[in-house]
Amino acid sequence: MDNNLVDVFSLFDGKEEELIPILQKVQNTVGFLSNDSMEEIARFAHVPKSKVYGVATFYAQFRFTPKGEKHIMLCRGTACHVKGAPRIQEEIENHLGIKEGETSKDLKHSMENVACIGACSLAPCIMVNETVEANLTPQKVEKLFLSKGKNK
Amino acid sequence: MNIKKLIKEASAEWSDLLNGPVPAFLVGNATCGRSAGAGDIIEKLKTEISSGEHKCRVLEVGCIGMCFLEPIVSVYRPGYPLIVYGKVEEKDVVKMIEAFLNKGEIITENIIGVVGPNEQINLPDLFSIPIMKPQKRLVLNNCGIIDPTNLNHYIANKGYTGLQEALQRSSQDVIERLKESGLRGRGGAGFPTWRKWQFCKDQDNDTKYLICNADEGDPGAFMNRSLLEGDPHSLIEGMVIAGYAIGASMGYIYCRAEYPLALERLRLAISQAEEKNLLGNDIMGSGINFKLKVKEGAGAFVCGEETALIASIEGERGMPRPRPPFPAISGLWKNPTIINNVESLVSVARILQNEPGWFSKYGTKESKGTKTFALVGKVKNTGLIEVPMGTTLREIIYDIGGGVDDGKQLKAVQTGGPSGGCVPASMIDIPVDYESLAEAGTIMGSGGLVVMDEDNCMVDVAKFFIDFAHKESCGECAPCRLGTKQMLAILEDIVAGKGTMEDLDLLEDLGKGIMKGSLCGLGQTAPNPVLTTLRYFGDEYIEHIQNKRCPAKVCRDLKYYEILEDKCTGCHICFKACPVAAISGNPKDLHKIDQELCIKCGMCLDKCPVKFSAIEVYPGNKVMED
């Protein structure tokens, strides 16, 4: 078994109710949930594989493909929407050549929609890894993702 | 642990901070402050201070609510009131140290207001400026004022005296205090908090649970985030009181994983409270036990629904369960369970910290106290506000919010997130209370208040919310799973210019059916945004359907771009920007857009230099017209 998983499992008792925290911890450590790790989790938590898969696919937080080095979360909250988030998303997609939900081939960027990052008063905004980029305009996006931008 | 001793220590530290000989900088460093650059300011302050001769403190505080003025820095110098500055840049910090701390010269630029006695310098009092005056901060009073990572700051500001008060009374007495306060659930539905507690208390069961719903899922709302980041101990105190009242010795805080800072502050606060015996076994020597665990949500809007949230804590897919039985009777692992919202529980702490009658003197007859709102969208002063129940939407938008951005016309106000509705500009004199909002077709909700102007298309907004509800529908019951999908499909037709007038009746029928037939709150309220926009903005739908025009110029298929002949200088920038080569023209010649090829991305409009402003967008569809 992957050493990462051994480390994560050592923090838990292997009870069914711990399933979501285990999935979260594995994803935090490994970056995503592979089929192999989900099988190991099933064994560890004494639940059928189908249950692990069922729970993991229910929640938006879990991903089954690797994350990019820069993971972009596009806020799709109401405040962002009314202040032009769709246009921002389009601009980022144009710059990076990937669509929402995808990871670039070189694993540099990945992008997903999230419900709301709670920085509504600075809409429209995105979160790159743990940093919020606020009050975006297409021009600002260009600066962020162009060849010399900090998120390229 | 003797609370008196704790209070004595804490008060000494607090008073030393505000009246002592050492100057201090307080920097708002919640999510909004951080996004605006508070981190750099703190760095700068620390380097300046360590290299200078002045002894000075730098404290990180929560959000004071005026997010549009972030980064916000307050400066304290002995003998002066606390001076609060907005939109502070690194260079301002250097000036503050040089001029104010070293020479006592006050920099008046960017002052928002001052806190404390200030007869001699005559600057506006922070709480009397137009944005603050209509507000009443009963719940947010500590946010932006205290250091959320310092338990002593909380204790020095009445913290944990509510718990002490509660533990000296019987649990029934505590519920009576809640009843007298008139507090109703701040998560949306407005059920009286005391009644819910009474149901649970009356259950004859050894194991009971208390859950705090901090899974703030409404898009456009961040009240709970600010509270958790700026004043986490208030929630803990409220939860211990609630646990005592209902007879629970275990509590869970179910918080969104998208709020990393809130989670960090919460976990720190829990360990501090445990260390001082304000949480855990035999709290303050009372014999009462109460433990708290944080559960991170995994991103499912439906988990805001009580029974789905319970399923999620149990490690299941977050799917709702039929009610009855209600969670107060059979909830988490089939034990009686109370689920309260963050703001409700913080209100509980405040109610017990103050004398009877204190909370209920604010608000209206049926809706007591205050309500926090995330005031966002097309309004000048965006931020977190708290107003007495009964304040009108007009006061909120114009007095506190400073009116609509860029001098545009107000069109609507959306409350209650995907479960709420849009109130038109003509109705903004209604008071904000549970009943008045319900009458207008919307709900109080948890506190998102999104202002929309003439540039927002109400059909697009309705589609946005139904799309959200459809994506977040857990799929358990057919009316919600299939109904929202169907409503979305109809709205997609309408915004594409393919709608018919019959669609409007169909939307209404479907909406009403979904509300009646759905299992949980998500489906029962999901059609609200569509039904309210149909009710108040029917003309806009008709314009889309009959004239193929989107008056707000939002819906892609119902607008078009043109280059203005008298303004185009042939700079060729739009030509290069167009991703589909729909623009023709040689440099220095007039350019033209081929309407057949144009995908209406708006790139040309964004790129056309402002000094030319040669591209205009119009409602309608050139290709369909031809």
Whether B235 and B339 map to the same domain: the answer is: yes
What is the band of B216 on the pLDDT scale with cuts at 50, 70, 90? confident
Residues in chain B closer than 8 A to A73 (CB atoms): 258
Q: What is the mean pLDDT of chain A?
A: 90
Does the structure show a pLDDT above 90 at B384? yes
Contact B66, B86 (CB under 8 A): yes
User: What CATH topology corresponds to A70-145?
Assistant: Glutaredoxin (3.40.30)
Residue B469 belongs to a domain with what CATH number? Answer: 1.20.1440.230
Indicate whether B28 belongs to any domain. yes
Interface of A with B (CB under 8 A): 16-21, 23-24, 54-55, 58-62, 73, 76-83, 87, 90, 94, 114-123, 125, 130-134, 138-139
Helix (H, G, I), strand (E, B) or coil at B212: strand
**pLDDT mean over B559-573:** 95
Enumerate the CATH 3.40.30.10 domain ranges in chain A, comma separated: 70-145
Question: Of A55, A116, A130, which to mutate for an interface test with B (greatest number of B Cβ within 10 Å)?
Answer: A116
Contacts for B120 with CB less than 8 Å, ≥ 6 apart:
none
Give the distance from residue B601's alpha carbon to the nearest chain A alpha carbon, in angstroms.
8
Whether B417 and B481 map to the same domain: the answer is: no
Q: Give the closest residue to B382 by CA, choosing from A63, A119, A67.
A: A119
Contacts for B591 with CB less than 8 Å, ≥ 6 apart:
B563, B568, B570, B572, B574, B575, B583, B584, B585
Does the structure show a pLDDT above 80 at B52? no
**Of B408, B433, B453, which marks where a domain is finished?**
B453
Higher pLDDT, B544 or A16: B544
Higher pLDDT, B573 or B77: B573
Tokens at B252, concatenated: 């869970």
Does the structure show a pLDDT above 80 at A152? no
Amino acid identity of residue A31, one-letter, is: G
Question: What's the confidence (pLDDT) of residue A151?
Answer: 62
**pLDDT mean over B364-388:** 95
Indicate whether B1 belongs to any domain. no
Q: What is the mean pLDDT of chain B?
A: 93
**pLDDT mean over B377-400:** 96
**pLDDT mean over B417-422:** 92
CB atoms within 10 A of CB B565: 10
Q: Give the closest residue to B420 by CA, choosing from B527, B501, B314.
A: B527
Q: What is the ipTM of this complex?
A: 0.89
Indicate whether B146 belongs to any domain. no
Residue B409 belongs to a domain with what CATH number? Answer: 3.10.20.600
**Of B515, B546, B577, which marks where a domain is finished?**
B546
Question: What's the confidence (pLDDT) of residue B497?
Answer: 95
Structural domain span for residue B506: 458-546
Whether B611 and B531 map to the same domain: the answer is: no
Indicate whether B188 belongs to any domain. yes
- B145-172: pLDDT as tens digits: 999 999 999 999 999 999 999 999 999 9
**pLDDT mean over B174-191:** 93
The DSSP-derived string for B343-358 is HHHHHHHHHHHS-TTT
Tokens at B46, concatenated: 């620390």
What is the band of A149 on the pLDDT scale with cuts at 50, 70, 90? low
Contacts for B96 with CB less than 8 Å, ≥ 6 apart:
B25, B73, B75, B85, B107
- Whole-model pTM: value is 0.93
Question: Which helix (DSSP H) or strand (DSSP E) does residue B293 occupy?
Answer: strand B291-296
Indicate whether B362 belongs to any domain. no
Whether B439 and B467 map to the same domain: the answer is: no
Tokens at B196, concatenated: 């819910």
Helix, strand, coil content of chain A in percent (nearest 5): 45, 10, 40
Question: Of B131, B296, B316, which to mutate for an interface test with A (greatest number of A Cβ within 10 Å)?
Answer: B316
Instruction: State what percent of residues in chain A have pLDDT above 90.
Output: 59
Strand stretches in B180-238, DSSP E: 209-214
Whether B180 and B319 map to the same domain: the answer is: yes
Does the structure show a pLDDT above 80 at B2? no
| Count of pairs with CB atoms under 8 A, one residue in A, one in B | 145
Question: What's the confidence (pLDDT) of residue B329?
Answer: 95
Question: What's the confidence (pLDDT) of residue B119?
Answer: 73
What is the band of B595 on the pLDDT scale with cuts at 50, 70, 90? very high
Handedness of CA B286, B268, B89, B402 (dihedral sign): negative
Instruction: State what percent of residues in chain B have pLDDT above 90.
Output: 81
DSSP 8-state code for residue B593: E
**pLDDT mean over B545-564:** 96
Give the helix ranges, DSSP H, for chain A.
3-9, 19-30, 35-45, 49-58, 78-82, 85-96, 138-145
Q: Tell me, rounded to whole angstroms, the distance of Cα A131 from its chain centroid.
A: 13
Does the structure show a pLDDT above 60 at B319? yes
Contact B214, B48 (CB under 8 A): no
Indicate whether B141 belongs to any domain. no
- B440-454: pLDDT as tens digits: 999 998 899 999 999
Whether B442 and B466 map to the same domain: the answer is: no
Whether B249 and B188 map to the same domain: the answer is: yes
Handedness of CA B299, B301, B304, B306 (dihedral sign): negative
Q: Give the closest residue to B87 by CA, choosing from B334, B320, B349, B381.
A: B381
Indicate whether B360 belongs to any domain. no
Question: What's the confidence (pLDDT) of residue A150?
Answer: 62
The number of domains in chain B is: 5
Whether B67 and B213 map to the same domain: the answer is: no
**Of B427, B453, B479, which marks where a domain is finished?**
B453
Indicate whether B481 belongs to any domain. yes
Higher pLDDT, B552 or B446: B552
- A94-122: pLDDT as tens digits: 889 999 889 999 999 999 988 788 788 88
Residue B27 belongs to a domain with what CATH number? Answer: 3.40.30.10
Residue B570 belongs to a domain with what CATH number? Answer: 3.30.70.20
Residues in chain A closer than 8 A to B377 (CB atoms): 78-79, 82-83, 123
Residues in chain A closer than 8 A to B300 (CB atoms): 58-60
- B102-130: pLDDT as tens digits: 888 888 889 999 988 777 777 889 999 99
Whether B97 and B168 map to the same domain: the answer is: no
d(CA B361, CA B395) in angstroms, rounded, equals: 20
d(CA B269, CA B47) in angstroms, rounded, equals: 28
Distances (CA, A) of B533 to B346, B504, B536: 34, 11, 5
Question: What's the confidence (pLDDT) of residue B87?
Answer: 94
Does the structure show a pLDDT above 90 at B478? yes
Does the structure show a pLDDT above 70 at B140? yes
What is the band of A148 on the pLDDT scale with cuts at 50, 70, 90? low
Contacts for B398 with CB less than 8 Å, ≥ 6 apart:
none
Q: Is A59 in Cβ contact with B318 (below 8 Å)? A: yes
Tokens at B468, concatenated: 């959200």
Whether B504 and B421 map to the same domain: the answer is: no
Whether B449 and B462 map to the same domain: the answer is: no
Does the structure show a pLDDT above 60 at A147? no
